[in-house]
Structure 1
């Protein structure tokens, strides 16, 4: 019973981390050295 609750809590945390990681990954971008970049946030 306790192990079931523990696994459910771990699953919730894992799902939250996966969503947060996806959001952070979509915010990041790379610009090569010596180049400039413009982001149009529409």
Structure 2
């Protein structure tokens, strides 16, 4: 129920939704790249 507040642990605690974790990783990488170039 605290997915919005804690996305990290929530994703780790949901093995039946690996796609969500992949999306989170992609978003994190995108943010890192943006911060690097900006």
TM-score, L = length of structure 1: 0.52
User: Which one has more relative contact order, counting CA pairs under 8 Å at least 6 apart?
Assistant: 2
Aligned length: 23
Q: Structure 2 unaligned runs (5+)?
A: 1-15
TM-score, L = length of structure 2: 0.57
Taking only aligned residues, the RMSD between alpha carbons, in angstroms, comes to 0.5
- Structure showing greater radius of gyration is 1
Higher helix proportion (structure 1 or 2): 2
